[in-house]
Amino acid sequence: MSELYKFLSGNVPGGIGLYLLVVITFFLVLYSISRGNELFTRKKFLFWYSIIWVVATGIYITVWLQDPPETVLHRYSTLIYAEEPEDAWLAYYFRDGITSSLKPYRSKTNYLYYQRWNYLADLDCTLPANNGECQKLLDQLPIDELIVGELVRDNQDLVLHLKIVEPQDKKIKMEKTIPVIRESPLTTMKEIRTTLSKEFPLLPGNPALHEADSLFVLARDYFFKGKYDESQDYCSQLLSREPNHQEAQILLEYCQIRKAEQLKAVQTLEKDGDDLEEKPQWEVMLENARRSLIPIFKETLEANHINVLMANMIAESFMLQEKFDNAEEFLKIAYSANPFDIDVLENLSLLHPSRYKELGFIDEKHLLRKILMICPIHERVLQRYAEKLLISIPVDEAERVRLQEVLQRFLELNPQSEIGWILWGKYQLAIFQYREAIKAFQKADSLQPRLPVVQYNLGVTHFKLKNYREAEHYFKRAIEYGDYLDAHLYLGVIYQKKGDYQSALKEFRYRVANKTGEDDYYAIQAMKGIRECLEALNIPIPKE
């Protein structure tokens, strides 16, 4: 019933409740008039009430359709884990083998929630120590159908206790114990696939299914965890033993693309003796990776198979070089194969909106919200989404409610995220709930002490409350922990209020000297502060 009410309310201010209140109020008012006035006949009552009802309903439907509610999504997932840590690599192997066998989605509202996405909440669900937290997360998402697999040692043998459950109804649909053949886990994987085919739609064929090799399995898992050096190291070990291992070669190129992204952020262009710009190392890495990957991708495409991960990685390599037309082509191919892939959707969101409107997305906020519906624990996407909405929530009630719901859901699922608490604090700050903002920033500080951004926001909140002594304390910490530039502006204002114009000038001048561009708002405010301090000190103001 609550889901129906939420759906009918949509994003209309006041929702269906306010609509019903208005309609009932007009009914009672007109009815009372008709009872007390003979000239206001029953016919006139019905006529005027019908007009009011049609107008009110028309307005409500129009507003509802302008921003309809999000579709309720249904998820199926896996929870494959090992009883013993030394068997974890086999759990990774079966996890990835199962997810590569399953269709990534059944319908527009029913999709595969990948177990590896839990890494976004720092949860490795293949380890038994995390089993309780993983179960809690999956219950809260929620997951409608769950493939559970527990690797257990039975004397000298290893078995997989496999079952399919419906967590919401606490119902076990299927249960089976499958012996694990240590010499050939692929044989076990094929039996798992056959067993699951009776309950789940599988992809035809399975080009991703391969023999188990602990080096490759661990290399791939490190890649999913974002540990590219470790992944590359395992790939190199495997290739030194098997130089023609194509999957390891492909994974190595993926690592090169991600490492090129990291290198781009820190590497500057070098010039040769002729003063010509040499191609930076990160660009060379990207082009070499594409030279290897694109022919392989074309081969798989000709075989009527779309490797979504490969298409996405090739697109990323183009985007890093700002070749967005090429990137768009590969992203749309990947999206056609799996419209629920969060990495593909995130990369699409980095393109100009005109490039993805034909896919049904209105703008960047709409696309980011879609990702958060699919994977509500995606911290990086949440940060981008929240920062965009924080600008508009003081004047847009619908945006405020939407952001509040997204942040609350994220913190419910991932309460140990300091980024989540920082964003919740910024939200409270934006709606003038300063005491709640302080609580949120203090929570973030307890999870990750000495973060300059947390100290800065605590300073801003105390400044808004006119607790200038506390604000000064936190701004100084923000500068001490990481020279947070905007803290200098606020410190300057505090010193200015205290009449310490020399100290204020020092802070203002530092902020201006470190401006980030001609439109740097805080640097402009610091320049105004310099002028006011000079006037207070009766010092002539320079013409420039």
pLDDT band for position 211 (cuts 50, 70, 90): confident
Q: Which two tokens stand for residue 242?
A: 């098997």
pLDDT in the model for residue 46: 85
pLDDT classification of 207: cutoffs 50, 70, 90: low
- Residue-averaged pLDDT of the chain: 90
Q: In this predicted model, what pLDDT tens digit does every residue of 408-421 receive, in sequence order?
A: 999 999 999 999 99
Q: Which amino acid is at 58?
A: G
Taking the C-alpha atoms of residue 368 and residue 389, their distance in angstroms, rounded to an integer, is 11
Task: Determine the Cα angle at 443 with ends 438 and 445, to 5°.
Answer: 95
Cα 169 from Cα 173, distance rounded (Å): 11
Domain 263-362 in this protein, CATH class = mainly alpha
Tens digits of per-residue pLDDT, 345-396? 999 999 998 888 888 888 899 999 999 999 999 999 999 999 999 988 876 7
DSSP-assigned beta bridge partners for residue 151 = 82, 160
Q: In the prediction, which pLDDT does 399 show?
A: 84
Give the global pTM.
0.86
Q: Cis before residue 207, ω within 30 degrees of 0?
A: no
Domain 371-536: give its CATH architecture.
Alpha Horseshoe (1.25)
- Dihedrals φ, ψ of 530, to 5°? -60, -45
- Buried/exposed code over 290-321 (b: 16+ C-beta within 10 A; e: otherwise): beebeebbeeeeeeebbbbbbbbbbbbbbbbb
Q: Are 459 and 434 in contact (CB under 8 A)?
A: no
pLDDT at 523 over 80: yes
The alpha-carbon radius of gyration of the chain (Å, integer) is: 29
The hierarchical CATH code for the domain 74-204 is: 3.40.50
Residue that wins the pLDDT comparison between 207 and 325:
325
- How far does Cα 539 stand from its chain's mean position? 51
pLDDT value for 28: 87
pLDDT tens figures, 434-493 = 999 999 999 999 999 999 999 999 999 999 999 999 999 999 999 999 999 999 999 999
